[in-house]
């Protein structure tokens, strides 16, 4: 019943997003990696532009890494660009360019974890698998678990989600539950009165029971759900790394030139710290240094 209500709601209310029109695992992977940490509105134009530049897995696998990192501009978390290309290279070299279908094999690809392997198996190959992202986790927690109990482990939540994936409808179920978490069952202000699952929701029922005066259709106080809080961005390592990569997208730099560039953009850090940040970028494979010149990898 939950599945029917959720999928029907999605059919009537789900957003028309470009990656929902494809079953190509390469395109699904591009979308999923872009959507991690970046909002849908910002991803849409970048998704189209990236696929125009790298239309298939072979093009991406053989492209200069500097071009891939440059194409990632505006999305942040540049390591995702690197993982994306490494995955493409692994699929081309190990699987003749055809993505594996099963979750366990997908998880062995570079940068592919529980979530992304499940997303490819489901959104490209339409398998009935369960996986958790922030939105799905929040909905499962509120909908299906005891609000008074401790928050269950990640594995317990995944098992719970797996029990509810309707046979043959994994694609629709997972798209629908993600969408519900994104636009209705949001972190801080769930729109319970508009939720198609409120009649089955344990969190909503507990809130109604706790307050007789609460109108059944009135917006209610959300259960607090532990979610990852990003560290402040200003002055962070992440900001410094992003600024360095932005500079190198234009042209290679020396350490001194990068230092000056950061100073001009309002980031004042000593050269010892700067050298440590650059060493981290080198370790991650995002930049290379040759003869004291720092640049994006070819």
Q: Which residues bind ligand SF4 (CB under 6 A)?
A: 139, 142-143, 184-185, 190, 192, 195, 197-198, 201, 203-204
What are phi and psi for residue 154, nearest 5 degrees? -60, -45
Nearest distance from residue 227's CB to ligand SF4, in Å?
14
Choose between 120 and 141: whose C-beta lies nearer to ligand SF4.
141
The least distance separating ligand SF4 from the CB of residue 228, rounded to whole angstroms, comes to 19
CB of 137 to ligand SF4, least distance (A): 12
Q: How far is the CB of 293 from ligand SF4 (least distance, A)?
A: 53
Q: Is 253 helix (H, G, I), strand (E, B) or coil?
A: strand
Helices (H), the chain: 2-13, 25-35, 40-53, 57-62, 65-71, 79-95, 103-106, 114-123, 134-144, 154-164, 170-183, 202-210, 237-250, 255-264, 271-284
Catalytic residue, chosen from 32, 179, 215, 227, is 32
**CA contacts within 13 A on the Cβ side of 235:** 4
Nearer to ligand SF4, 116 or 135 (CB): 135
Pair 37, 43: CB distance under 8 Å: no
Catalytic annotation on 154?
no
Q: Residue 19 or residue 204: which is nearer to ligand SF4 going by CB?
A: 204
Q: The sheet that has 253-254: what strands, in order across it?
A: 253-254, 293-295, 288-290
Q: Which two tokens stand for residue 268?
A: 């004042």
Give least dist CB 198 to ligand SF4, A: 4
Residue 294, classified by CB atoms within 10 Å of its CB into exposed (0-12), middle (13-18) or buried (19+), is buried
> How buried is 151 (Cβ within 10 angstroms: 0-12 exposed, 13-18 middle, 19+ buried)?
middle
Catalytically active residues, by annotation: 32
């Amino acid at each position: 019943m939950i599945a029917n209500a959720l999928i029907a709601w999605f059919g009537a209310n789900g957003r028309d997003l470009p990656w929902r029109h494809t079953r190509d695992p390469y395109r699904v992977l591009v979308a999923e990696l872009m959507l991690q940490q970046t909002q849908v509105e910002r991803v849409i134009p970048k998704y189209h532009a990236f696929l125009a530049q790298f239309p298939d897995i072979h093009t991406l696998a053989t492209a200069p890494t500097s071009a891939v990192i440059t194409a990632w501009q505006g999305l942040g978390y540049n390591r995702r660009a690197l993982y994306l290309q490494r995955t493409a290279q692994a699929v081309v070299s190990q699987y003749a360019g055809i993505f594996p279908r099963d979750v366990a094999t997908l998880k062995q690809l570079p940068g592919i974890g529980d979530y992304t392997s499940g997303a490819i198996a489901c959104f490209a190959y339409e398998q009935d698998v369960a996986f958790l992202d922030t939105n799905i986790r929040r909905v499962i927690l509120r909908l299906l678990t005891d609000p008074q109990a401790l928050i269950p482990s990640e594995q317990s939540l995944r098992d719970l989600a797996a029990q509810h994936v309707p046979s043959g409808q994994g694609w629709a179920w997972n798209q629908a539950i993600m969408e519900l978490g994104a636009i209705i069952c949001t972190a801080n202000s769930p729109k319970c009165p508009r939720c198609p699952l409120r009649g089955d929701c344990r969190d909503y029922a507990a809130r109604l029971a706790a307050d007789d005066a609460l109108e059944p259709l009135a917006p209610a106080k959300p259960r607090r759900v532990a979610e990852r809080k990003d560290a402040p961005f200003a002055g962070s390592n992440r900001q410094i790394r992003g600024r360095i990569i932005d500079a190198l997208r234009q042209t290679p730099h020396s350490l001194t030139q990068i230092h000056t560039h950061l100073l001009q953009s309002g980031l004042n850090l000593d050269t010892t710290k700067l050298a440590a940040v650059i060493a981290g970028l080198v370790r991650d494979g995002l930049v290379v240094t040759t003869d004291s010149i720092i640049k994006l990898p070819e």
